Amino acid sequence: MDFTGKSLLITGGTGSLGKALTKHVLGEHPEIRRLIIFSRDEQKQFVMAQEYPLEKYSQIRFFIGDVRDKDRLTRAFKGVDYVIHAAAMKHVHLAEYNPEECIKTNIGGAQNVVDACLSTNVSRVVALSTDKACAPINLYGATKLTSDKLFIAANNIKGNNPIRFSVVRYGNVMGSNGSVIPFFIKRKEIDNILPITDRNMTRFNISLSGGVEMVMNALENAWGGELFVPKIPSYKILDVAEAIGPNCEKPVVGIRPGEKIHEEMITPSDSFYTYDLGKYFAILPVTPNWDLDEFIKEFEAKKVPHGFSYNSGNNTNWETVEGLRSLIKNHVDPTFSA
């Protein structure tokens, strides 16, 4: 994608994916005119600014603001060409305990981003979803499903505006804040005990670089209204524990409220609108505002069978214990050893 003379804004830009996107964009697209990091945590911005000093990275800007504040968003979006919406309340148990706060950020914030984009000259928007938005059983997932619907439906109210809204949905990002791998590594250091929620539990796995690649693909290729899902491997929680601490104690502690045994990304009900694009699946809007036949031709898209589902338990691609150890060393902790 050519960023020459363009501006990109990332909401939640100080998070794990936001920082990975920043590294990618500044490394691969130095021709970008401006990269704006929009977030509400001044300390994280301060720390990130030390890594990207203006003397070396003249394109970067740090913008304090909250997605709950539409006026602040609208001001930030002026002169911006592309928006990646990564800001969210993400921790399941915190959302359950603070439901109103989660709703304000994940739903109200999403609508504010949509409105601010429509009232400025933003041309492309990619919103980050989560596997927990698929058939949600917790509040976090329910708010992200609502957010997904808001961004997809925004394509119906844009009028003659050429803006395109799309969504990317993927599983657990390896090594991201609060995820199981760094948690297990820390517990191994503290007490050699790795708590297992359920022995049958599985999860999807994607690296930060894989997440970045997917977002950039959507930013460049989306027609508007697609919900992209990557084809990625799964892992068994017992294999993760074995990869990190083969000699650790592994007590079964039970699943937490709002947690699934297997993560889902495409349900059988989604199959009626889901197409295989090769590297990704795309759940298309029920009534796209573009020619479906042309889309199928452009991407050589193939309709999935009715009743098709995609979850971490029925996946055909699995990480191994040794493969996980290699991935942890390459993507999470270069000093790691089992």
Q: Given strand 202-206, what is the order of strands in its sheet?
A: 172-173, 202-206, 234-236
Task: Name the residue among 274, 259, 284, 286 with its Cα closest to residue 310.
Answer: 274
143 near 180, Cβ under 8 Å? no
Backbone angles phi, psi at 230, to 5 degrees: -80, 155
What is the chain's length? 338
Which is catalytic among the residues 19, 44, 132, 188? 132
229 near 183, Cβ under 8 Å? no
Cα angle 205, 211, 217 (rounded to 5 degrees) comes to 135
Cα 84 from Cα 63, distance rounded (Å): 14
Cα 212 from Cα 215, distance rounded (Å): 5
Q: Is 203 helix (H, G, I), strand (E, B) or coil?
A: strand
The yes-or-no answer on residue 302 being catalytic is: no
Backbone angles phi, psi at 139, to 5 degrees: -65, -40
Catalytic residues: 132
